[in-house]
Amino acid sequence: MIFSSILGACTKYFQHNHSGPRCGLGELILPENEPGSSIMPGKVNPTQCEALTMVCAQVMGNHVGVTIGGANGHFELNVFKPMIAAGLLRVCFLLSYFNTSLRLLGDASVSFEKNCVRGIQANHKRISQLLHESLMLVTSLNPKIGYDNAAAVAKKAHKEGTTLKEAALDLGVLTEQEFHELVVPEKMIGPSD
């Protein structure tokens, strides 16, 4: 069950980062395995992610059903035994329940890797755009212009829909050269000195 919940969460990561192409994150490009949306021409649906999510839900449902059935026994009577038996004895005894769920997850994982993961591409242009337009880059200005001025730059850029650089120059807190020396996203990755 833990594996299926983690795997299901991973598919959400792919789906959300694939959203777009213009109004979502659009950081990942998923393979076009099937025709797109019937109501939105040109849209690529994350069908492999959706299929794996359904398998994960089924595996979690198998586990939850047996758990709920077991929790509903009263004294020496448990009227949920037929449901428990059906959940546990999919093919034969307890191991087949686990084998069925593991087989489902295994087969779905192999299909997901083959039909989705292998073809995923990073949308470098979109990632760069989002990175360089991020208002959070303002933190790199703190040492030079202080928190209050950095906050004013971020608020102005957000309110006016401009870049941090444009806001900093308009407010006169930095020159263009100073801005480019301070705001280098690549230097903000990893441990600080």
When comparing pLDDT for 1 and 128, which is higher?
128
pLDDT in tens, 7-20: 888 888 888 888 87
DSSP code for 74: B
Kindly state the tokens that stand for 106: 């295994």
CA–CA gap between residue 71 and residue 153 (Å, rounded): 57
CA–CA gap between residue 46 and residue 175 (Å, rounded): 45
Kindly state the tokens that stand for 38: 């019937």
Could you give the domains of the chain? 2-122 (1.20.200.10), 134-188 (1.10.40.30)
Does the pTM of the predicted model rise above 0.75?
no
Kindly state the tokens that stand for 12: 């959400």
Buried b (16+ CB within 10 A) or exposed e, 139-155: ebbeeebeeebbebbbe
Spatial contact of 119 and 31, defined as CB atoms under 8 Å apart: yes
pLDDT band, residue 193 (cuts 50/70/90): low
